[in-house]
Amino acid sequence: MSPLDIVILTNGPGEIVTWVRPVVKALRQKLDTDTSQVRISVILSPCPHSTGKEAAIAISYSEIDRVQSAQNFLPFLLWGKTADLWHWRKQGIVIFLGGDQFYTLVVGKRLGYQTLVYGEWDARWYRYLDAFAVMNSNVLQKVPSRYHHKFTVVGDLIADIVLEVETNSPAKSHSITIAENSRQVIGLLPGSKPAKLMQGIPLCLAIAEKLQHLKPELQFMIPVAPTININSLASYAQPENNSLISQLGGVTGKLMKASNPEEDPYIITPQGTKIALITQFPAYQHLLSCQLCVTTVGANTAELGSLGIPMIVLLPTQQLDAMRSWDGIPGILANLPFLGTSFAKLINTLVIRQKRLFAWPNIWAKQEIVPELIGQLNPQDIAIMINNYLNHPEKLQCMSNHLISVRGKHGAAEKIASIVKQQLST
């Protein structure tokens, strides 16, 4: 086999950790550890969730030979030259692991390489791309049957990370410990963007305070997204920075640093409820200790589903323009300068009226297996619902089992590596 180049296109911090990491490990195991024979390059594209540390994380993986940061992506896409003027081998493959699938088409054509897309939720440009590795068969439902020969169901890359976490952890799989775990922890995932945090932080604080009144032994935590620092996050708990607090339970919070440097900082409410701020990313080890999570809509519902963690999904409508992450034209309109807020309110109103499913596990299952609460949400009502779940661990167990049954199977990285080997041998 002649020397090969493997080009991985990716973007955000989540993709670098949960997709790229297991795939490059599997590629080295399946192909060759000798860089002179198989060279792995990562090219980052811009991402709204970027921390600026993606390139440093990627190059820290011993399996990866070279990395180009997102700031140099556009010149590469337009003219085909990297910032360091990389040399390309005659044979290779471009693998999509995050960003826009269209980039895979452009880069593959420019380099004359095979193309492979990992499709978690959808697959695009299937007329022109060579192969697709998809999480489950649901992705195929949107694809004409004449293109199905390009597709292989490989499973869930996040499940590979989960398996690794569980294998290296003394704790058992979350799916069999809900009833056994005496330490009850509630995870709060309020979002990472300002519009979501404006609602999510005060709502989560109010829910936590109400819950602690019902169950004083409860512990709470927020896994802090890498795109926001703890000071910024805590600012949404202050009335001078967040006018929505009064509409979402009226509970404020103050950021505190633990006296022991090894302990996590926390937010404390006026009634003394503490919410630990977990800055480790990804926080899977901490999330696996949770009995239940309260979360906004988004990719975090897919991650919690892959972990088998029961959840309640909140879509408060106190601020209708909070959701702006729609795909395609609705997403473009919702994020326009000046007019974006009006479009977002209109789009979200129409979407809510459709009574569609929002959480990814529910979408996969085509039924509501985790509760979705939409409207003018009341923290007291949500706290009572959570308390009922905690008093009936068999309900949480059932939800966890259902989540695991609809997630993709583990082993996706190894299957992707096998597809790459097959594509390069043809």
Domains identified in the chain and CATH numbers: 4-155+411-425 (3.40.50), 164-406 (3.40.50.2000)
CB 208 within 8 A of CB 275: yes
Q: Give how far the C-alpha of residue 122 lies from the chain's centroid of Cα atoms, to the nearest Å.
A: 15
Nearest to 325 by CA among 362, 366, 284, 296: 296
Read off φ and ψ for residue 214, nearest 5 degrees: -80, -35
pLDDT at 18: 84
pLDDT at 20: 94
Q: Is the pLDDT of residue 319 over 90?
A: no
407's CB contacts (< 8 A; 6+ apart) are 156, 158, 159, 305, 306, 308, 361, 364
**Cis amide bond preceding 282, omega within 30:** yes
DSSP 207-236: HHHHHHHH-TT-EEEEE--TTS-HHHHHHT
Mean pLDDT of the chain: 86
Looking at residue 297, the DSSP 8-state letter turns out to be S
Polymer length in residues for the chain: 426
Angle at the Cα of 290 from the Cα atoms of 287 and 296, rounded to 5 degrees = 70
pLDDT at 362: 92
Q: Is the pLDDT of residue 320 over 70?
A: no
- Rounded to an integer, what distance in angstroms lies between the CA atom of residue 218 and that of residue 208? 9
Encode 96-135: b = buried (16+ Cβ within 10 Å), e = exposed: bbbbbbebbbbbbeebebbbbbbbbbebbbbeebbbbbbb
| Cβ burial, residue 196 (10 Å; 0-12/13-18/19+) | buried
pLDDT at 342: 63
Cβ neighbours, 10 Å, residue 351: 15
DSSP helix, strand, coil percent of the chain (3-state; round to 5): 45, 15, 40
User: Average pLDDT for residues 123-141, to the nearest whole number?
Assistant: 93
Nearest to 304 by CA among 11, 18, 16, 25: 18
Higher pLDDT, 127 or 258: 127
Q: Which two tokens stand for residue 216?
A: 């004083």
Q: Would residue 250 be called left, alpha or beta, if left means φ above 0 and alpha means ψ between -120 and 50 degrees?
A: left
User: Average pLDDT for residues 190-206, to the nearest whole number?
Assistant: 90
Nearest to 347 by CA among 362, 363, 328: 328
Q: Is the pLDDT of residue 68 over 90?
A: yes
- Rounded to an integer, what distance in angstroms lies between the CA atom of residue 271 and that of residue 258? 18
Q: Give how far the C-alpha of residue 287 lies from the chain's centroid of Cα atoms, to the nearest Å.
A: 13
Residue 193 binned pLDDT confidence (cut-offs 50, 70, 90): confident
Cβ neighbours, 10 Å, residue 34: 10
Higher pLDDT, 310 or 341: 310
Read off φ and ψ for residue 171, nearest 5 degrees: -75, 150
- Rounded to an integer, what distance in angstroms lies between the CA atom of residue 389 and that of residue 173? 20
For the entire predicted model, the pTM comes to 0.75
Structure confidence by residue, pLDDT tens digits, 370-405: 999 988 899 999 999 999 999 999 999 999 999 988
- Rounded to an integer, what distance in angstroms lies between the CA atom of residue 130 and that of residue 287? 37
pLDDT at 336: 58
pLDDT at 93: 97
Taking each helix axis from N to C end, the angle separating 393-406 and 299-307, rounded to the nearest 10 degrees, works out to 110
Structure confidence by residue, pLDDT tens digits, 345-376: 665 565 556 567 878 889 888 899 999 998 88
> From the DSSP assignment, how many helices (H) and strands (E) are in the chain?
16, 15
Sheet-wide strand order for 266-268: 254-256, 266-268, 274-278, 219-223, 185-189, 292-295, 311-316, 372-375
Q: Would residue 113 be called left, alpha or beta, if left means φ above 0 and alpha means ψ between -120 and 50 degrees?
A: beta
pLDDT at 64: 97
Q: Is the pLDDT of residue 408 over 50?
A: yes
Cβ neighbours, 10 Å, residue 185: 18
233's CB contacts (< 8 A; 6+ apart) are 197, 201, 222, 224, 277
Cβ neighbours, 10 Å, residue 32: 15
